[in-house]
Structure formats: C-alpha cells, structure tokens
Amino acid sequence: MLRNASILTAKGVLLALSFVVTTPFIIASNAQAQEVELASVNQSSEIQPNASVSLFADPEFRAQRPALERMVRTSINTLEGVQSATGAIASGEGEDALQDVLNEAAGRGLDYVAVVQIANARERWFSTDYRADFNLYNTESGQSTLSWGKTYERQNDFRTFIALLSYDLPIELQREYQQIAQVIHVSGREVQLDFTSESGLERGDVLRVFREGREIKDENDVTFGKLQETTGVLRVLSVHPFYTTAEVLIGGIAIEYGQYAERLDAEQAETYQGEVLTVYDDQVAISIGSSVGVQPGSYYAVYQNVVEFGDNASFREQVGSIIVSDVYEGHATGRFTLSNHRNLSRLMVNEGAIVEEIDAPWSNAFMAGVGSYNLLDSDGQTNGRLSYVMPTHTGIAYRAHLGYGDDGMAGIGIQSSIGYSPNFHAGLDVLYFEGDGAGANMLLSVEPPLSMGPIQPVLEVGYIVGTDHYDGLNINLGLRFSFDLF
C-alpha cells in the first residue's frame, strides 16, 4: 500500500515516469538505454515545464512504450488538482540514470520524482508474470518515500497486463491522496472506512461505494480493462483521526469489506435520492437503479410528506414498503411487501413519493417446540423439535427440522405467505421418522402479533400422509428466535 500522501502537496512536483522493463536474463545494468517521457505535475493553477528522461528497457517492449506512458499519465491525472505534461530533460545512462534524473529535478527546485518500473518477472510455458512497481523518490535524499507494487500472474498478452494495471494504479494513487477509501468493517447499516480526518470529509457528505466489476475482453480473450460496479451509497456520520463511520443509504445487501468508496459532490449526491415513478396494481417503479447500487431483493420504505416546514424539511409518514425484483440502469421495479395493510398502501403510494432503503423485514430464525402427531388415534406420538427457517426475498421460506422423543425425526420443507400476510403461511414438509419411514406434512402456520423482541410464538397445524404411526392430524407449538445470519 502507498504511504505518506502528504508529501505530494509540495509546490510544483515533478513526476519522472521512468519505465524499466527487464527479462529474467537481462538486468538493468546491462540493458540498453531507451527514451521515455518525464511528467510534470502541479497542484496550483500553473503547470511546470515538461521534461523527458532516458531509462533502461528491454527492446522487446519498445512498441508498448506509448501505451505505458499514456497509462501512467492518465493515472496521475485522476488526482484532484494534478495534471501531467511532457517535455525534454537530459540524463545519463547505466546505473547512474536514476541519480541523473534526481539531480536534474533537484536542480530545477523540484522535490520529488516518481518512477514506475515494469518488469518481466517470469516466463511460463504459455503465459508471463509481469511486475509493476511505483516509487516516489525524494530528490534531495534519493530515498523512496512512497511505494506500491503488484505482480500480475499468468498474463497471455502484454496489453492485458497494461489494462489491469491501468485499473489498479489510479485507485492506489487516489487512496494515498485520501480521494478513495476502503471499507474496513460492516455492521448492519453502519460502515467504517479508512478515510482519516485529513480527508476533509464532514458529517452528511455522501459517498459512492463500488467494487471491481467484470473484465472487458475481445474474442481473443485479450482484456482491455475492468468495469466498476456501484454497490451502494453511504452518508458520513462521523470522522475520526484514523477512520470514518457512515450509514448505508443504498446497498445494504451488497456493500462488503474490501470495497472502495469515493466522495460525491452535492449535484452528484442528488441523483441517489429515489422516488416513486409509477404504481400499477401491486407493482411499483422507482427512479434509481443499478447505476447507484440498487440490488434485486432489497427493500425500500415509501414515505409521504405530512407537514412541511422550513426550506427542505418536513414531517413524513411511512405509507408502505416495496421489495425490488428487477433492476435496470436508471430505474427499478418491485412489488409491495407482505403486510396486513397492503391494500391500504396501494391506495396511499403515489408518484413522487420518496423511497429509502431499509433492512429486510424478515430474518433467519431457529424455532424450538413440541409436536403432537396422529392426534385422532389413541396411539399418538409426541416429539420435541428444533427447526431452522431461512426466508428469501421471493416470499418463500426454506425449513429444516430435527426431532427427538418417541422416535428420531428429520425433515425439510418450504412455506409461503397466505394472502400477502406476514402472519399466516402455508407449507409442505417431507419428514422422516426413525423406524417408520418418510411422509408428507401439509401445514398451516400462524404467527400471532405477540412478539417479544426477537422471540415470536408460532402455532402450526398439519396433516401427515405416508407413514404408519404418524399419519393424520398434528399440532406443533413453539417459539421462534430471529437473528441475522450475515
């Protein structure tokens, strides 16, 4: 990782883009000198004169020199307030080439020189390993004060290596400048990032979170770059000396450790505020999509302003919630979620209503209880039962059971809501009883609104067919304990 970002804030910094490319059989001290451009960068409004420098390079990469130069120059230009330019400067050859560059830069009153070294690290049977190293040298001491490097293994084409490097290098430079940070911890809808207090962030700033997307390849499997995939949006809650805490606005199910975040300006931040576009029956379209990190299966609350006060403030009331099913670049569609007031929500949700992402209204659960089987027979059976229930955004929940008592029992099944209600479900289990074989249990599950925090009483009534001693009516009474699995 790069270190000491603050050193680039000096006046008129000159970055020497020196490319050293060697094979395993040719070392730098024996290679022939080639020409490469030296970039000048300035964080003020005045751009310093351009320069060029000689370097050591393997002749086999001579044709790729322009691509290397463009890639590094473009990477430097991604830094805020920095712009690269080119010109001419003389330097020596051999082992003193780097020192010549440092001396020339120091003579011009420039403090730092950046050197990018590209090396052919290893030849394989059908591919090559390439190594890229970025170093920032202090022209006075000649010491590297900032460095980053990465080996790209098993590359079939040099162009692929340059394309992958062109994705990584700008991110690393921007991380060092505190323009980009990495997600270091996720807990529910709260996220910590490695933005420090030197980043200039303030409470209320909006951040875009993204991850590395798919590679762009042609029919010959040559990579031309990578896409960035937006996974969500954050709002800064607090900034500390070594980290920043933010809340998730969009992307609660997609934002993960290791992803990147960048700051948005006020105009960009407005594009992440969603609203209802249209309502048709129980289908809803909203104005935000994949471009801002909306994911299938995410939930959004719909709000209606009740009383407005001030310029941009109002009291508001949640009038419904939706689950997203299909996501497009500029919008998404979904349906109203399970609710005892679902029909009322369909009437109250109108075009223009504000939508905000919320946590899923369901969670994974363990259920412990007692089941009585074959109730209509005097030879009924009683078993204790432990179940695991895993709901999904489709409205179907998967179940797994283990039982103990008169006979051991194991089973799996599914259940789904009845009439879009969160309290009534119908389902089907396949149960195996020790010594009695397998049977099918058709069930009705009732969850009365008597929850005590994460604990919810559950009553299930079913009918089993296919066994010898457990066929017939059965009742299971238990308690469900809800929890977040991930």
pLDDT digits (tens, 9 = 90+) for 225-243: 888 999 999 999 999 999 9
What is the structure's pLDDT at 389? 92
- State the average pLDDT over residues 428-449: 91
- State the average pLDDT over residues 447-468: 86
Element (H, E) at 66: helix 65-77
Percent of the chain exceeding pLDDT 70 equals: 79
Handedness of CA 164, 168, 170, 173 (dihedral sign): negative
Q: Which domains does the chain have, with CATH numbers?
A: 5-176 (no CATH), 180-267 (2.40.10.410), 273-358 (2.40.10.410), 364-483 (2.40.160.20)
- State the average pLDDT over residues 44-66: 45
What is the structure's pLDDT at 133? 82
Structure tokens at 449: 């609104």
- Residue 143 pLDDT > 80: yes
- Residue 18 pLDDT > 80: no
Name which residue leads in pLDDT, 62 or 434: 434
User: Would you say 424 and 461 are in contact if contact means Cβ atoms under 8 Å apart?
Assistant: no
Note the residue count of the chain. 486
How open is the CA angle 382-388-389, to the nearest 5 degrees? 115
- State the average pLDDT over residues 468-477: 89
Q: Which of 355, 189, 350, 359 is nearest to 273 (CA)?
A: 355
CA dihedral 337, 343, 345, 351 (to 10 degrees): 100
Greatest pairwise CA separation for the chain in angstroms: 103
Phi-psi region of 188 (alpha: psi -120 to 50; beta: other; left: phi over 0): left
Measured between its terminal Cα atoms, the distance across the chain in Å is 29
Alpha carbons 132 and 114: distance in angstroms, whole number: 13
How open is the CA angle 359-363-366, to the nearest 5 degrees? 160
- Exposed e or buried b per residue across 302-331, where buried means at least 16 C-beta atoms within 10 angstroms of its C-beta: bbbeeeeeeeeeeeeeebbbbbbeebeeeb
Q: Which of 77, 92, 95, 85 is nearest to 29 (CA)?
A: 95
Element (H, E) at 377: none
Name which residue leads in pLDDT, 81 or 311: 81
Amino acid at 223: T
| Residue 81: band (very low, low, confident or very high) from pLDDT cuts 50, 70, 90 | low
Alpha carbons 411 and 433: distance in angstroms, whole number: 9
Percent of the chain exceeding pLDDT 90 equals: 30
What is the structure's pLDDT at 310? 58
CA Rg, the chain, in Å?
A: 31
CA atoms within 13 A on the CB side of 266: 1
- State the average pLDDT over residues 245-263: 93
| Residue 84: band (very low, low, confident or very high) from pLDDT cuts 50, 70, 90 | low
Handedness of CA 393, 396, 400, 406 (dihedral sign): positive
What is the structure's pLDDT at 313? 58
Name which residue leads in pLDDT, 113 or 205: 205
CA atoms within 13 A on the CB side of 407: 18
pLDDT digits (tens, 9 = 90+) for 314-365: 677 888 888 898 999 999 999 888 776 667 777 788 888 889 998 877 678 9
What is the structure's pLDDT at 393? 66
Alpha carbons 327 and 293: distance in angstroms, whole number: 9
User: Would you say 300 and 238 are in contact if contact means Cβ atoms under 8 Å apart?
Assistant: no
Amino acid at 21: V
Alpha carbons 356 and 85: distance in angstroms, whole number: 45
Handedness of CA 26, 32, 37, 39 (dihedral sign): positive
- State the average pLDDT over residues 285-302: 90
User: Would you say 445 and 456 are in contact if contact means Cβ atoms under 8 Å apart?
Assistant: no
| Residue 311: band (very low, low, confident or very high) from pLDDT cuts 50, 70, 90 | low
CA atoms within 13 A on the CB side of 265: 1
Strands 190-193 and 180-187: antiparallel
Instruction: Outline where DSSP puts E strands in 173-282.
Output: 180-187, 190-193, 206-217, 223-239, 244-250, 260-263, 274-280
What are the CA-CA distances from residue 26 to residues 30, 56, 349, 399 (Å)?
7, 10, 71, 63
Q: For 209-213, 288-292, 378-382, 432-436, which range has the lowest pLDDT when averaged over its residues? A: 378-382
